A and B are shown apart, each in its own frame.
Chain A
Amino acid sequence: MTSLSIRGLVFGVSTLTCLAAMPGIATEPENEKSINDLEFLIGEWEGQSTFLYPRDEDRSPAHETVQVSCAYVLKDSYIQCDTAWTNADDRTRTFRLHFNHNQLDEAYQVLFIYDNWPRHVSYLLNYDESKNAYIGFSEFEDAEGGTGEERVEWRLSDDQRELHSAEFNHLETDPDGFWANSFEFVWRKVD
């Protein structure tokens, strides 16, 4: 084990205390938006994903099949989705998504934790009426310390039974305005 020199390692978010001094005895949202707006997520989904390799023309897209199960947790204040993504070699990765309505930022928020990757990903999602999509942005760093941005779009069909997501990234070294489509998936509701 390493020593206690850990303060510099804080990489995440922290604004209130832990199990302790939470003002968090449940209070209902007073603004119009709430996690209930995302209730369409609740249920079972199946679908496919595609990894695109926009910076490697020689590489073919990789596909996965996806199974998803979403339910309310934390007394209906979050929606939790457990997902399993299986590739053509029958290898599976699983990760969990937590959606909530972040009252501080007045936006929806999604948090990912993975079985195959030690980092958490979290970003805000805002509904863009002009695109009829929920849009989110996150940042990442590459192996050389360069930075990149990722834009995520979640789009729901009119009957709310098909959800399409697309991810685009822009590396620091990319030309301005170049956002490469790197990943997309579609989930379809299972009756």
Chain B
Amino acid sequence: MKSLWSIVFFYFVCGPVYAESPISTPSMASLEPLIGDWRGETRHLRPRNSELDERTETLEGNCRPILDGYYIECITELTRADGRTRALHSYTNYNAANENFEFLLIFRGWSGKIIYPLEWDDENKMFVGFHDDETRDGTPVEVRVEFGFSKDGREHWAREFNHIEGEPGDYWPQTFEMSRRKQ
């Protein structure tokens, strides 16, 4: 971590840092399948309330490198069956100082943002991340996010699972899934 804090110190106190070149590290290369135009679907599952219907959305978006390839930006619009839409921008990068990928999400309709580290699970060939959340009544929730690609890189899938404080430790029901295909 010291290297990161050195950068922090350098940036704030010592002055600017200029990138040597557009980044094309092997680490970022593993995210290259993200780049392109996508269409797909999402399903919001209701594992704790069987009386609620699953909600589905269609999805359209595109992903491209920005900031000299340091980030891949994905712009996504999701549409419910009733026509209502939500829009997301996500930014994925490799943080060389922390030696992990990071995922940043901002979206219309909510003021906050989500930032969490991602790790590559080589055994299962997918990216995995955890972040904290809370229920509407303030109970802490842990969220596990998984995503990966088909072997040809033309399909992208993501799943989310969560665990609410107080539940049995191994209870991590799936709450969301997304699949999309490159156009």
Q: In the complex, are the beta carbons of A9 and B108 less than 8 A apart?
A: no
Pick the contact of B176: A3, A11, A21, A150 (CB < 8 A).
A21
Given known A6-B100, A141-B8, contact A118–B95 (CB-CB < 8 A): yes
- Give B111's nearest chain A residue, CB to CB: A102
Q: In the complex, are the beta carbons of B111 and A105 less than 8 A apart?
A: yes
Q: In the complex, are the beta carbons of A18 and B104 less than 8 A apart?
A: no
- Give B73's nearest chain A residue, CB to CB: A96
Q: In the complex, are the beta carbons of B18 and A142 less than 8 A apart?
A: no
Q: In the complex, are the beta carbons of B109 and A19 less than 8 A apart?
A: no
Q: In the complex, are the beta carbons of B176 and A20 less than 8 A apart?
A: yes
Q: In the complex, are the beta carbons of A10 and B109 less than 8 A apart?
A: no
B4 interface residue per 8 A CB criterion? yes
User: What residues of chain A lie closer than 8 Å to B129, measured between beta carbons?
Assistant: 6
Q: In the complex, are the beta carbons of A20 and B130 less than 8 A apart?
A: no
- Give A51's nearest chain B residue, CB to CB: B15
A14 interface residue per 8 A CB criterion? yes
Main secondary structure of the interface of B (DSSP, over half): strand
A6 to B132, CA, bound (A): 12
Using a Cβ–Cβ cut-off of 8 Å, how many residues does chain A contribute to the interface with B? 71
Q: In the complex, are the beta carbons of A113 and B104 less than 8 A apart?
A: yes
| Per-position binary interface string of chain B over residues 118-158, scored 1 when its CB falls under 8 Å from any chain A CB and 0 otherwise | 11111000001111111000000111010000000000001
> Which residues between 98 and 120 of chain A lie within 8 Å of chain B, taking CB atoms?
98, 100-105, 109, 111, 113-120
Pick the contact of A3: B6, B70, B119, B130 (CB < 8 A).
B119
Q: In the complex, are the beta carbons of B18 and A93 less than 8 A apart?
A: yes
Using a Cβ–Cβ cut-off of 8 Å, how many residues does chain B contribute to the interface with A? 79
Given known A142-B9, A143-B5, contact A18–B71 (CB-CB < 8 A): no
Question: Shortest distance in angstroms between B155's beta carbon and chain A's nearest beta carbon?
Answer: 16
Q: In the complex, are the beta carbons of B67 and A94 less than 8 A apart?
A: yes
User: What residues of chain A lie closer than 8 Å to B114, measured between beta carbons?
Assistant: 12-18
| Per-position binary interface string of chain B over residues 1-19, scored 1 when its CB falls under 8 Å from any chain A CB and 0 otherwise | 0101111111111111111
Write the residues of chain B forming the contact surface with A, with a CB cutoff of 8 angstroms.
Answer: 2, 4-19, 23, 42, 44, 66-68, 70-71, 76, 80, 84-89, 91, 93, 95-100, 102-122, 128-134, 141-143, 145, 158, 160, 162, 175-176, 178
Listed by A's residue number, 30 A-B pairs whose Cβ atoms lie within 8 Å are A1-B120, A6-B117, A10-B116, A11-B98, A11-B117, A12-B104, A12-B116, A14-B143, A17-B141, A18-B176, A21-B44, A24-B110, A25-B84, A26-B86, A26-B108, A53-B14, A74-B107, A100-B106, A104-B112, A111-B106, A116-B17, A116-B70, A117-B11, A118-B7, A119-B8, A120-B104, A140-B9, A140-B12, A141-B5, A141-B9
